[in-house]
Amino acid sequence: MIKSILQNIFNTEEIKPIAIQCLWNSDWEYIGLTIDLIFKKNNSYSKQNIAELEYQKFESEEALLQEAEKIIKAYTEKYDIELYFPSPDKWSRDCPDYWESKTAPKCEDCKTPIIPTKSIYLPKEVCYPCHLEREQNNKIKSEEQYDNGVQMYLAKNNEYENIGYCSYFKDFTIAPFINDKVQKQFNENVINVVTLHKSDILELNEDLEKALNEKLAVYEKPVIGEAEKKFTRTYKIEYKGIEYELYSRFNSAHNEISNLISALKKSQKALQNDYVYEIYFKKGFTHRDDSLLRFVNYACKGSSSIEKIMEKYKDVMSETEISTTINKLVKIGCLVINGNFVTVTTTGKNIV
């Protein structure tokens, strides 16, 4: 009798899991991968957590997944059980627990079992990443205009250092100081590259210094009462040997000082090292152009066969539309064609 009770306790404690489950767990501030063992007893399921891998503690998503793989391997080998990891490639996809996965709705596009969103703004039939892809594809299909996005570089002998990106030119700190020079260089091209040469940069540098000195003349040090200490962050910045303490947020005067100092550092770097400024504008660019150029530049690492591009866009554009897009990108200097291959040019790289 005693022996059989002991046996039972032993059996319940040693109950074998039926699967190992990996689900992403995310909100606005946190991304983690939760790894659980799944147990089944009398038709009811339970899970036991064995690891929580926090995204921020890893160098990359790849490193996190490698760690997960080690844990998964240890358990699948020990118990010879099934792995349930429905969304290894996308943390933004919400998936159900193992025991609900067979009956849960599947995303219409990727067929992954999903927990349909409760948001009234999002469709319920697809997962979030597929929803984004559908939206993007619609923009490509309808040839939606995409002229937003201005890139700024320091350039010398075909070497480029990106020093800023803004959706609109006016958002750059230096925009008001160089606007006239920029407008004068505009032409009818789809890609406009505006260059600031040494004399322009000297002038810019002088204007920035003047504007900064005006701001510093009326600079006020933060005064923080005991009660506000918890909620207020400040930082220190040095300019011409003097240290200034600045509010990190919600203070436009301090914000401008900080932006001007950082713009001035760039103009001084340009002058000291003989760089020019190159600013890239688009006019008449579309989501079609942008997507195809990004595909060749990032997914294909700068060069791709035309067949590969046709395959990638076969459900979104006709072959004629794809060829027209490639030809446009060649014409505006973003791609070059060599036989069956296309390669991204420096201009192409610099706008995506």
Q: How far is the CB of 113 from Zn ion (least distance, A)?
A: 10
Q: How far is the CB of 80 from Zn ion (least distance, A)?
A: 30
Q: How far is the CB of 105 from Zn ion (least distance, A)?
A: 11
| Segment contacting Zn ion by CB under 5 A, of 38-46, 49-57, 102-110, 243-251 | 102-110
Output 125 or 307, the one with its CB closest to Zn ion: 125
Q: How far is the CB of 85 from Zn ion (least distance, A)?
A: 15
Interacting residue with Zn ion among 67, 69, 97, 109 (CB under 5 A): 109
CA 300 distance to own-chain centroid = 18
Question: How many whole angstroms separate alpha carbon 209 and alpha carbon 129?
Answer: 46
Site residues for Zn ion, 203-232, by CB under 5 A, read none
HEC profile for the chain? CHHHHHHHHHHHHCCCCCEEEEEEEECCCCEEEEEEEEEEECCEEEEEEEEEEEHHHCCCHHHHHHHHHHHHHHHHHHHCCEEECCCCCCCCCCCCCHHHCCCCCECCCCCCECCCCCCCCCCCCCCHHHHHHHHHHHHHHCCCECCCCEEEEEEECCEEEEEEEECCHHHCCCHHHHHHHHHHHCCCCCEEEEEECHHHHHHHHHHHHHHHHHHHHCCCCCCCCHHHCCCCCEEEEEECCEEEEEECCCCHHHHHHHHHHHHHHHHHHHHHHCCEEEEEEECCCEHHHHHHHHHHHHHCCCEEEHHHHHHHCCCCCCHHHHHHHHHHHHHCCCEEEECCEEEECHHHHHHC
95 touches Zn ion (CB under 5 A):
no
Output 110 or 237, the one with its CB closest to Zn ion: 110
CA atoms 35, 36, 37, 43: torsion sign: negative
Site residues for Zn ion, 121-160, by CB under 5 A, read 127, 130
Output 112 or 325, the one with its CB closest to Zn ion: 112
Question: How many whole angstroms separate alpha carbon 124 and alpha carbon 130?
Answer: 11
Interacting residue with Zn ion among 31, 81, 104, 110 (CB under 5 A): 110
Output 54 or 89, the one with its CB closest to Zn ion: 89
Q: How far is the CB of 112 from Zn ion (least distance, A)?
A: 5
Output 243 or 315, the one with its CB closest to Zn ion: 315
Output 127 or 191, the one with its CB closest to Zn ion: 127
Output 127 or 246, the one with its CB closest to Zn ion: 127
Output 23 or 107, the one with its CB closest to Zn ion: 107
Q: How far is the CB of 127 from Zn ion (least distance, A)?
A: 4
Interacting residue with Zn ion among 37, 72, 107, 261 (CB under 5 A): 107
Q: How far is the CB of 267 from Zn ion (least distance, A)?
A: 47
Question: How many whole angstroms separate alpha carbon 141 and alpha carbon 110?
Answer: 20
| Segment contacting Zn ion by CB under 5 A, of 96-104, 110-118, 134-142, 183-191 | 110-118
| Total of chain residues touching Zn ion, rule CB under 5 A | 5
Bridge partners, residue 21, by sequence: 36, 84
Output 117 or 323, the one with its CB closest to Zn ion: 117
| Segment contacting Zn ion by CB under 5 A, of 35-43, 99-107, 171-179, 189-197 | 99-107
Q: How far is the CB of 110 from Zn ion (least distance, A)?
A: 3
| Binding stretches for Zn ion (CB under 5 A) | 107, 109-110, 127, 130
